[in-house]
Amino acid sequence: MGKFTYDITRYEPRQMVALPAGLLIISIIFLAFNTFATGMPITPGIDFSGGVAVTLFTSDSQEHIYEYFSEYPLKSVGESINDGFYIVFESLGDSEFRSLTEHISDRYPDAKVDQIGETFGKTLQTQAIWAILIAFALMGIFVFAAFRNYVPSIAIVLAAFSDMVITAAFMDVFGVTLSLGTTAALLMLIGYSVDSNILLTTRLLKRQGKPDEKLKGAFKTGFIMTTTTMTAVAAMFIVSAIGQIGIIRDISAVLLIGLFVDLMNTWMLNAGLLKWYLKETKGGKNVR
């Protein structure tokens, strides 16, 4: 079998933009349906929805734990290190919470119990949304100030937006909940996206040479940068999955998904839009 290669100069702009644009549209529809059905585009974790988290160490099986807590609104039982379990319950009233803590103490006296109120969770949720919006707005202002050209600037912002939306859709598909940790990972994706897309745009618009040669050089450098980061994140994901460190596993999972998506959006969506822009402004010279 021949080795797969992606010749970035070979394809027409519309061919390059088709896949990422299609995925973006599908992701927007998917997230909009989730918002209409559940009130949130991504399933919120306990940080944002509120509830009770219990960490305990026992030789009991998951089945036994589910059976023991069958009278309470149990959401999930996740494994932790050293025969530990991380158990999440839905939000409880004061009397139900007291009953649950007594029930836990009867069999697991050394268990750690944490409660996050639903109101506090909503407050964190609002703050997280504002953090993402502010970060995105500041990124857009910086990009427009740096290039002072609407088409390339909009292409960078669109690629970053697409990274966030498609990654969010895949998070829901793979069952990765929205928590403070995964929100931080989404914020990090804005930085990764801007880094790779500014590299591409700067090489094409501000360096001398033939557009095809500049595009090839930018692709080689950017691809190596992103795949190097992905290798490190993949190692973090494997170690945290083996060690059953849930929050690190979720953060690295979001980053891995986002970096794959960023490769597509940078070198297909943004590159395609820039090729179209150069064709229009340069009369198609040296740009296929």
Please write the tens of the pLDDT for every residue from 49-58. 788 888 888 8
pLDDT category at 2 given cuts 50, 70, 90 is very low
Residues 265 and 163: beta-carbon distance below 8 Å: yes
What is the model's pLDDT at position 233?
Answer: 93
**What distance in Å separates the CA atoms of residue 21 and residue 136, rounded to the nearest whole number?**
20
**What distance in Å separates the CA atoms of residue 287 and residue 262, rounded to the nearest whole number?**
23
For the cut 80, the answer to whether the pLDDT of residue 3 exceeds it is no
- Sequence-distant (6+) residues with CB within 8 A of 228 are none
Residue 163 carries which DSSP code?
H
Structure token pair of residue 277: 């822009």
**CA 26 to mean position of chain CA atoms:** 16
DSSP string, 93-112: -HHHHHHHHHHHHHH-TT-E
- Of residues 164 and 125, more confidence is placed in 164
% of the chain with per-residue pLDDT over 70: 94
What is the model's pLDDT at position 5?
Answer: 60
**What distance in Å separates the CA atoms of residue 95 and residue 54, rounded to the nearest whole number?**
17
For the residues 256-278, what does the mean pLDDT come to? 92
Identify which of 271, 149, 255 has the alpha carbon closest to the alpha carbon of residue 222: 271
What is the model's pLDDT at position 145?
Answer: 87
Q: What is the maximum span of the chain, computed from C-alpha positions, in angstroms? A: 78
- Please return the burial class of 103, using the count of CB atoms within 10 Å of its CB with bins 0-12, 13-18 and 19+: middle
Residues 101 and 113: beta-carbon distance below 8 Å: yes
Range with the lowest mean pLDDT among 25-29, 91-95, 100-104? 91-95
For the residues 272-283, what does the mean pLDDT come to? 81
What is the model's pLDDT at position 88?
Answer: 86
For the residues 252-278, what does the mean pLDDT come to? 92
DSSP reduced 3-state for 23: helix
For the cut 50, the answer to whether the pLDDT of residue 286 exceeds it is no
Residues in the chain: 288
For the cut 50, the answer to whether the pLDDT of residue 135 exceeds it is yes
Residue 211: half-sphere exposure toward Cβ, Cα within 13 Å? 21
What is the model's pLDDT at position 1?
Answer: 42
For the residues 158-187, what does the mean pLDDT come to? 91
DSSP reduced 3-state for 89: strand
For the residues 238-251, what does the mean pLDDT come to? 84
For the residues 121-150, what does the mean pLDDT come to? 85
Question: With a threshold of 0.95, does the pTM exceed it?
Answer: no
What is the model's pLDDT at position 288?
Answer: 47
- Please return the burial class of 80, using the count of CB atoms within 10 Å of its CB with bins 0-12, 13-18 and 19+: middle
Average pLDDT, the chain: 85
Structure token pair of residue 89: 């319950």
